[in-house]
Structure 1
Amino acid sequence: MFKQFRNIDTAFKHIKTFSIISNVCIILLCGFVIYKSHEAVQTILSSIWVVVDGRPLQAKIAGSKDDPEVEARQHVTNFHQLFFSLDPDDKAITANITKALYLADESAKREYDNLREKGYYSGLISGNISQRITVDSIRLDMRSEPYGFTCHATQRLIRSSGTLMRTLTTTGTLRNVKRTDNNPHGFLIQRWETLENADIQSR
């Protein structure tokens, strides 16, 4: 009889051990399934479909600052194009400069005020001069924030009598800020200044 009780006790211990192992395995399996499901949902949510000319194309949503160097270059390029690509129209100039000033600190505002006081913008308007800029290269130092940059560009001043070409070299630093509709790359240009702006040829 005691042997039978021992067998029952042993069988109960085996069942208890088996139950514990089974429960642990089920919990681990559930955790794995939940993790993989979450991963799959994130993958789905990070992809969008865009219809271009009637054809669906899959696009990937980039995370915040996935490639900071590329975004920094684009930020510097956008600023210079807005600040220096101008037409002989007061409202167009104001609109472009306003957009540019969202991308930089007070150093850009000071430069704008200086040019305005010198009559630069009124000269563009009275002379019917269009100004265009092409960014040739941007040198970045991304080792530590604020990130230093030097921008080399070519300006074209287009008028009825011909086109004047100028070199433009500027420098400054970039710091991270929150992304907004007015500042989609999340950088702010600081201590911006012009190092060189010289005529190179006239056509």
Structure 2
Amino acid sequence: MDLQSLKNIPASFSLAKRSLLYCLIISVSISTGSLVWAFITTNNIKNTAFVLTKDGQAAMMTGVSLSEVDVYRKPEIMNHIKMFHKALWEIDQFNYERRINKALYLSGRSGKQLYQTLQANGHLAKIVTENLTQKIDIDSIKINEKVTPYQAQLFGKLRVSRTDQKVESVNDFRAKFVLHNVSRTNKNPHGLLIENYLLQSKPITIPK
């Protein structure tokens, strides 16, 4: 081994160390980048689901975070109000018990009080004994979703008719109430409960 070769040994070691250092930096960078990519991809997938439409096609449904729920709450509030009023007021002698029970799952204590009032004043008994059918036409719903509990008013008409005759009475219908957030269930899919229900319209008239 000559003197020149001995002089090149430190330079070779230095080059090897630099090469190892560069390889280490590149490996760490690739590993870190892969972890970050995997984390972002997993979060995106976690908030995404596919639902099967009635046509048999898969449609993508993107979830929202808890902080974004209130942005999408108004359509749910609107639908909950419609469900409650359709169930409670669109009744006849055959379905009133089943439909009112459905409405009671969508409301709290004031819903039960309203049901008891309709029982006490004989309105439900007239539905049965006089063969009456009720239908509610919703004209408009006003919602203030910026405060909790949410505040709402409903305006419409309540039609009461006799199934054996082509006569009906049309009643102006106005109601005011609030909605509380509660846990979602199969019988209360929107996770809302109607309370402080106040009828602001005149007593219901029945066709002669």
Would you say same fold, with TM above 0.5?
yes
Matched, 1:78 2:71: no
**Equivalent of residue 67 in structure 1, options 68, 72, 89:** 72
What is the distance in 2 between the residues matched to 1:63 and 1:72?
18
Please say if residues 135 and 151 of structure 1, whose CA atoms lie closer than 8 Å, have aligned partners that are also in contact. yes
Matched, 1:12 2:16: yes
The aligned residue for residue 134 of structure 1 is 137
Describe how 1:3-42 pairs up with structure 2 within 5 A: 3-35=7-39, 37-38=41-42, 41-42=45-46
How many angstroms does 1:113 deviate by? 0.4
Counting matched residue pairs gives 196
What is the distance in 2 between the residues matched to 1:199 and 1:174?
25
How many angstroms does 1:136 deviate by? 1.4
What is the distance in 1 between the residues matched to 2:179 and 2:198?
13
Deviations 1:47-69 (A, max 9, x none): 223343xxx33334464747210
How many angstroms does 1:33 deviate by? 4.3
SS of the equivalent of 1:196 reads: coil
How many angstroms does 1:84 deviate by? 0.4
Deviations 1:11-43 (A, max 9, x none): 133123212211122213322442465257447
The aligned residue for residue 177 of structure 1 is 182
Matched, 1:157 2:160: yes
What is the distance in 1 between the residues matched to 2:10 and 2:202?
98
Q: Percent identity?
A: 22
How many angstroms does 1:197 deviate by? 3.6
Deviations 1:67-89 (A, max 9, x none): 21000000011001111001123
What is the distance in 2 between the residues matched to 1:198 and 1:51?
43
Deviations 1:138-176 (A, max 9, x none): 101111211100111211101115011111111111111
What is the distance in 2 between the residues matched to 1:127 and 1:62?
50
Matched, 1:98 2:88: no
Q: 1:51 to 1:114 in 2, by over 3 A?
A: closer
The aligned residue for residue 47 of structure 1 is 50
Q: Which runs of 5+ in 1 are unaligned?
A: none
Mean Cα displacement is larger for which, 61-70 or 179-188?
A: 61-70
What is the distance in 2 between the residues matched to 1:63 and 1:103?
24
Q: 1:82 to 1:60 in 2, by over 3 A?
A: farther
Letter in 1 for 2:115: Y
- Whichever structure has more strand as a proportion of its residues is 1
SS of the equivalent of 1:173 reads: strand
Larger Rg computed on CA atoms: 2
What TM-score comes out, normalization by structure 1 length? 0.85
What is the distance in 2 between the residues matched to 1:181 and 1:141?
26
RMSD: 2.5
What is the distance in 1 between the residues matched to 2:46 and 2:31?
23
Please say if residues 168 and 198 of structure 1, whose CA atoms lie closer than 8 Å, have aligned partners that are also in contact. no
